[in-house]
Homo-oligomer: A and B are copies of this chain.
Amino acid sequence: MKKIINSPDNYIKEMLEGIYIAHADDLTCVDGDLQVLVTKHKKEGKVGIVTGGGSGHLPLFLGYVGKGMIDGCAVGDVFQSPSVDQAVALTREADSGAGVLYIYGNYNGDIFTFRPAADEVEMEDDIETAEVLGADDVASAGPSAPGEKSTRRGVAGIFFVYKCAGAAADKMLSLEEVKRVAEKASNNVRTMGVALTPCTVPRVGKPSFEIDDDEMEIGMGIHGEPGIRRGKLEPADQIVDEMLEKIVGDLPYENGDEVAVLVNGLGATPLDEQYIVTRRIHQVLEEKGIKVYKYYVGEYATAIEMAGFSISLLKLDDELKEYIDHPVDTPFFKQV
């Protein structure tokens, strides 16, 4: 295990200490618990949006806490969920009377954290809550159908759910409305990833899976969950074509439809390669009559030091376009 760390046991604590030091003007923690992270720029009367999940995915999840996006994050250990108590403390801090929306990925651990927390704050604190799950990974369950979504993993596409819901909340919409916007974004986003190398959880100390030097795994999850096909590494264009077939094929698209595209590096993939991929996405979508409204390219949701990338498409309407355009200022992501 080749990592720049002191000890696996202190990994999360020291990482978070660094984050609070570097972003002291913008981020703080609740009741001294480093794993309950909130913005310092709380906007009174606004619907609070909070998230949470395992570490190892920076800038996901905590990196999107800030102006125009989300308000707080319960931070778990690497690939582990935060506790119910942490989610409760986070919710209490994020509420300013307009209620709190939970947006998190579709994993049992996180569901078992946030649902009991919601029950607790509704009972004890009379805080109104709602939840919207990210479940965008088309590789993790068959073609979309009613009920199918409940089995899909949440991956990088949650960025778009934060982006749209964050904008709606920033425009002071009600909890019901912000939830509606988040649901629309979640229902309209599809993602697929490909991995070239595994990643190593510090406490485990060895790679999450084995893969040959000339192999790739298409559809792999963000914790190294199995994909839909392992094969020889192919040229970038061929990989993109296969991924887009699945992604675009999973939602009805008509000629002239518009999308926002997220090309996401999984940790060790150079930006160069991500732009080679972007170029091919543009060609394919043009052929399909789909127009790209905005590109996001870079590391948005990683799997520690995994090599590979994912593509997310968010199908847009006029309302979502307005929320995509809304400015954001967080320590990890800014849109002017």
Contact = CB atoms under 8 A, between A and B. Distances in A.
- Count this chain's copies in the assembly: 2
A275 B55 contact: no
Interface string A247-288: 000000000000000010001111111111111001000000
Interface in A281-314: 282, 295, 297, 299, 302, 304-305, 307-309
Given A56-B272, A268-B305, A272-B56, A295 B4 contact: no
Interface residues of A, number: 58
A89 interface: no
A275 to B, nearest CB: 3
Given A2-B214, A267-B270, 7 more contacts: A5-B273, A6-B235, A14-B276, A21-B282, A22-B278, A56-B270, A271-B299
| Top 6 closest pairs, chain A to chain B, by CB | A18-B275, A268-B268, A18-B278, A18-B279, A22-B295, A58-B271
18 contacts: A2-B196, A3-B273, A4-B308, A5-B273, A6-B236, A14-B279, A15-B275, A16-B275, A21-B295, A22-B278, A56-B270, A58-B270, A268-B305, A268-B307, A272-B304, A299-B299, A329-B336, A334-B334
